[in-house]
Structure 1
Amino acid sequence: MTNAASATAAPGQMTHREIMEALTGLLLAMFVAMLSSTVVSNALPAIVTDLHGSQTGYTWVVVATLLTMTATTPIWGKLADLFSKKILVQAALVIFSVGSVVAAAAPTMGVLIGARAFQGLGVGGLTALVQVVIASMVPPRERGRYSGYIGAVFATATVSGPLLGGLIVDSPMGWRGCFVVGIPIAALAFVVLQKTLHLPTIKREVRIDYLGATLIMAGISLILVWVSLAGTNFDWISATSAALVAGSLALIGGALWVEARVASEPVIPLRLFRDRTTSLATAASVMVGVAMFGATVYLSQYFQLARGMSPTEAGLMSVAMVGGLLVSSIVSGRVITRTGLWKRWLVGGMVFVIVGIALLGTIDATTSLWVVGGYMALTGIGLGATMQNLVLSVQNNVAVQDLGAASSVVAMFRSIGGSAGVAALGAVLAHQVTSGVKDGITALVKAGKISQEQLAAMQHSTGDIPRLADLPAPIRALYEASFGDAVGHLFLVAVPFAVVALVCVVFIKEVPLRTSHGPVAPAESGEEAGEETGLEAAR
């Protein structure tokens, strides 16, 4: 059955060759979206120095993109249910490219942050739409094999981004080249999609939920601003925090009312959450986002600040985790395509994530790099079997007309969990390091191992990420030890979130993957109807 589907297609469906040709353009688009985040990581110190920015500016170069990407993901998904998916992907590529050009030429931190926010609009579109278009081209039963390619692109962008960014910063192009490098790839993706992607456009009356979209974006933005800046610009418990949280809750409450009572074409159809699979997969995605992004994003800093590695060496260490993710995503995708069963991969993947993160919670500045790499590989294996298959479980269970909205909702909540995790665990990291360094400095002063001049130099460097090579030997060793202990603590903090994700996955009811795009029972009819449809198609 699978082999036949590979060679020929049912009426109205694309052949395997046509899918692979269009998939090339989609994967190029996804690669450029992921590369935009990873390639700039090693360039941030040079950017802040060159543009005379502050630590707050350093944070917002990252957060600006994250805000607009996360807030607009469900909007792009809804637009995919109303307009031509091909045109939307190409529009996202154009938006990304324009933002990249402005960022590369930015004369000040303010312009750069604004350009990164605009760039995030395109990244949000690419992140949501690639999944939606693949779901439109390929029936759920066949989708697993193509999910492996997505995992491979994810792995390639994750590994090559930091390495490429380090090389570009050290080249004559400087840090501005990091924003230019993705433009030719985006242009190539645009051309390939124009030639290869041919999806039918369903003509129907379009009603855009502008009020709901605005309230959703504003509510998400406020909560992300809070978790991004609390603990650094103001206290977690303060009048500013209370105002941001209250404002966010009010906006999100208003958005829920509009989506449920007012909008005829809601951006996030709340009926989707009547389906148990969608609700549990969404909750699991939030927890996976916290555990994955919130903890693993600091591994690069661990290798540079606790182990004294260069950015290139730190990038090479990520191969352990990404290699595990690559193998796991490809193997799980192929087996799921052959069997139609996916829940065992979700459960097993989350067990691996929990074990890997718990073991990473034991690392410090002296742990063998081979041991750290092994723990990272375990975590990567778990993530590879989990991330794409959570989206697949939802896509398999919703009505065809809700495919875009459902896919983007899962992606959006994973991004929310990740951004909140990055910000909150970053505050924990800063507190742990500051506390460890402060106590260590006191001990060194009492022991007479450092002078007042050295202490003054250390105090000067605490306002930013220090250059370890410029620090006196005793203080450098103290900083490395403090940072190593703090990163290990972060992983322990992330473990409970992974456990909650496992619990959510366990209670998801498995529905065998459909072998066609539809018809599928609408979400309102509950999971039992969805199961019946899936079983019928599987026969």
Structure 2
Amino acid sequence: MSSARSRHEAPPADQPDGQAKNRQPRSVRVVLMALMIAMLLAMLDNMIVGTAMPTIVGELGGLSHLSWVVTAYTLATAASTPIWGKLGDMYGRKGIFLTSIVVFLIGSALSGMSQSMDQLIAFRAVQGLGAGGLMVGVMAIIGDLIPPRERGKYQGMMAGVMAVAMIGGPLVGGTLTDHLGWRWSFYINLPLGAIALAMVTAVLHLPKKRAEGRIDYVGAALLTIGIVSLVLITTWGGTEYAWGSGRIIGLGALGVVSLVAFVFVERKVSAPILPLHIFRNRNFSLVTVIGFLVGFVMFGSTTFLPLYQQTVQGASATNSGLLLLPMLLAMMAVSLIAGRVTTNTGKYKMFPVMGGALITVGLFLLAQMDTGTSRFTSGVYMAVLGAGMGFLMQMTMLIAQNSVEMKDMGVGSSSATLFRTIGGSFGVAIFGAIFTNQVTDTMTARLGDKGGSVVSGGAQMDPKSLAKLPAMVKDAYMHAVSSGTHHVFLWGAGISIIGFICAWFIKEIPLRGSEPKSEGSTPDTGSAAEATSAEKAAVSGA
């Protein structure tokens, strides 16, 4: 039975299977619970803070720097992700993961004590630095502890954490801000983080590692510059600065030069921060592209779902997290089913294919929404999109981890996470530009130049401002938002076809921990199928 098989660690290379030591299943569950809390911390933070931002600005001021509260966190998370992954590979997963938790908690405490907007931005960067290690650490430790075949059973848990963060974040943030003050949006992380810290320290036992070489400081610096440049382009382009402005073009040139230099450096150093050889594996490269596209269409398109429902369908802004419930529940259910099937059969190629198809169909259906679409109909469309994401979100990570050797588990996990994050940044920026231009054009077409000036300061208008508009202007704006979301989802459907095509080229390599294949079946060159003997991670009870 698969449940029995998951209780055994893979034996060292010099030890027969029969001598494998038993894992304590209760301790495995305790560790997984701690990992889920850590993942929840990283994902929940932005959702909670978003609700508290109006109150924060009212107390600290600095409205012009408001976006940097989010941008600082995002930049630090993206830039630190590959570095945390490599440090875990070099010096051991547990110590690096505990360090990231401590950094995150320090950033949370300092953010809660901020006395100015500048301080809050700086401390949010510290928080983001720790968050990068939390996300990578969770994925890499699960990769160490659970063979890919057995890992499918826990996909529903990971999807559940995402759903809790997206649904509960705004509600918790609003409640804390109203009753305890906005500072508790950050202080709430401290008890949760302390629990995760204590549980990981007491129960998680992983083999200690020695660094195989010096840290690749030059590569880390070049990669950080490249990532920061790309994220700033997607954050500032079309909003703070015009796409053709000197600052955006300069950032683009800096990013390209940095990443080209990074590739050159990584080919020369003995212990690269991001080993390029992992991209020689076909499956890894394909799921990296798919992960980028999933982030692109998921974060890019779903940003506009609450806006559509609040503006066109008249939904309450305070319950914005609940508006995504059909999509998130479908994602959870499908992810759980896909994980169980993968565990029981060892088959997984069909899921990226099905996921790519459903995401394309779901986005195309969402593109059909207009001012007369009911909430029930839009909920069905969102459920289709959520099912597609459920097939892809964790399955791409599983395939990526199965495609690298155990010694590269950290950088493999961080690369998959990084490309999804970068994809999300690009998606939000590009779809945002499409949405804004379409809203402005539609307002101008319906009301003339005065109509375009209504949204000249930005295409998104809060419900209170919308209610104050004259009936004719309000009707025009509702049609404009409907037209904008139509174009966003239609472009998303077109782009997601690329991921669907890539999924067909994935080769179904046996998952580590699966039933042995018949003689003569050979894995892909560069795959991690032979690395099972290196899986020495063990969990023992206190």
TM-score by length of 2: 0.89
Q: CA deviation at 1:109?
A: 2.7
1:264 corresponds, among 248, 264, 270, to 270
2:353 is matched with 347
Cα pair distance change 1:488/1:167, threshold 3 Å = farther
The 5 A counterparts of 1:159-308 are 159-169=167-177, 171-261=178-268, 263-308=269-314
Q: Which residue of 2 aligns with 1:358?
A: 364
Note closer, same or farther for the CA distance 1:301–1:367 as it changes in structure 2 (3 Å cut). same
Query: Separation in 1 of the partners of 2:33 and 2:528?
Result: 33
Q: 1:59 aligns with which of 62, 67, 79?
A: 67
1:391, distance to aligned residue in structure 2 (A): 1.1
| Aligned positions of 1:476-491 closer than 5 A | 476-491=474-489
Alignment of 1:38-187 (within 5 A): 38-54=47-63, 57-169=65-177, 171-187=178-194
Equivalent-residue separation in structure 2 for 1:175 and 1:162 (angstroms): 12
CA contact (8 A) 2:7 2:23 kept: no
- Name the CA shift for 1:118/1:532 in 2 (closer, same or farther; >3 Å): closer
Measured in 1, the distance between the counterparts of 2:138 and 2:96 equals 10
Deviation at 1:7, TM superposition (A): 4.9
Report the Cα offset of residue 473 of structure 1.
3.6
Q: Structure 2 counterpart of 1:122, which letter? A: G
Deviation, structure 1 residue 390:
0.7
C-alpha distance in 1, partners of 2:206/2:326? 38
Structure 2 counterparts to residues 324-339 of structure 1, below 5 A: 324-339=330-345
1:81 is paired with a residue whose SS is helix
Q: Secondary structure at the match of 1:282?
A: helix
What is the distance in 2 between the residues matched to 1:95 and 1:531? 32
SS for the counterpart of 1:39 is helix
Q: Is the 2:103–2:130 contact (alpha carbons within 8 Å) kept by the matching residues of 1?
A: yes
Deviation at 1:53, TM superposition (A): 3.5
| Map 1:438-449 → 2, pairs under 5 A | 438-442=444-448
Deviation at 1:370, TM superposition (A): 0.4
Distance 1:507 1:272 in 2: 17
Q: Is the Cα–Cα contact under 8 Å of residues 406 and 531 in structure 2 kept in the other structure?
A: no
1:516 shift after superposition = 7.6
Which segments of 5 or more consecutive residues in structure 2 lack a partner in the other structure?
A: 11-19, 517-521, 535-542
CA deviation map 1:448-483 (0-9, x unaligned): xxxxxxx99x57975974432343443333323322
CA distance in 2, matches of 1:131, 1:362: 36
Q: Displacement, 1:24? A: 0.8
Match of 1:417 in 2: 423
Against the structure 1 CA distance between its residues 346 and 172, is the aligned structure 2 distance closer, same or farther, given a 3 Å change threshold? same
Among 510, 523, 527, which residue is 2:524 paired with? 527
Q: Give, in angstroms, the shift of residue 203 of structure 1.
A: 3.0
Match of 2:30 in 1: 21
Report how many residues are paired. Answer: 518
Aligned with 1:208: secondary structure?
Answer: coil
The 1:45/1:428 distance shift into structure 2, 3 A limit, reads farther
Residue 2 of structure 2: aligned partner = 2
Q: Is the 8 A contact 2:225 2:258 kept in 1?
A: yes
Pick aligned residue for 2:378 from 372, 380, 386: 372
Which residue identity is paired with 2:115? P
Of residues 250-259 and 298-307 in structure 1, the stretch that sits farther from structure 2 once superposed is 298-307
Distance 1:299 1:43, change over 3 A: farther
Residue pair 2:7, 2:25 contacting (<8 A) in 1 also: yes
CA contact (8 A) 1:220 1:248 kept: yes
**Alpha-carbon distance in 2 for matches of 1:202, 1:13:** 22
Q: Which runs of 5+ in 1 are unaligned?
A: 446-454, 519-524
How far the C-alpha of 1:83 sits from its partner, in A, is 1.6
CA distance in 1: counterparts of 2:392 and 2:373, whole angstroms: 28
Which residue of structure 2 lines up, in the alignment, with residue 35 of structure 1?
44
Q: For residue 363 of structure 1, what is the amino acid of its counterpart?
A: M
Between stretches 306-315 and 150-159, larger displacement belongs to: 306-315
Distance verdict in 2 for CA 1:481–1:178, change over 3 Å: farther
Cα distance change, pair 52–375 in 1 and its aligned pair in 2 (3 A): same
Coordinate RMSD, CA, aligned: 2.7
CA separation of 1:276/1:7 partners in 2, compared to 1, >3 Å: closer, same or farther?
closer
- Partner-residue secondary structure (3-state), 2:267: helix
Other-structure match for 1:384: 390
**One-letter amino acid of the counterpart of residue 316, structure 2:** S
Letter of the structure 1 residue corresponding to residue 27 of structure 2? E
Is the CA contact (8 Å cut-off) linking 1:163 and 1:311 kept in structure 2?
Answer: no
**Closer, same or farther: CA 174–465 of 1 in aligned 2, 3 Å:** farther
Match of residue 434 from structure 2: 428
Q: Distance in 1 between matches of 2:149 and 2:345?
A: 8
Per-residue displacement from partner, 1:464-519 (whole Å, max 9, x unpaired)? 7443234344333332332232122211111122111111111111112111899x
Does the CA-based 8 Å contact 2:212-2:271 persist in structure 1?
no
Give SS of 2:404's match: coil
Displacement after TM superposition at 1:45 (Å)? 3.7
Say if 2:38 and 2:134, in contact at 8 Å, map to a contact too.
Answer: yes
* SS across alignment from 1:426: helix
Distance in 2 (alpha carbons) for counterparts of 1:24 and 1:535: 25
The residue number in structure 2 matching 1:450 is none
Change (3 A) 1:7 1:392: closer
Match of 1:511 among 493, 504, 509: 509
Residue in 1 aligned with 2:413?
407
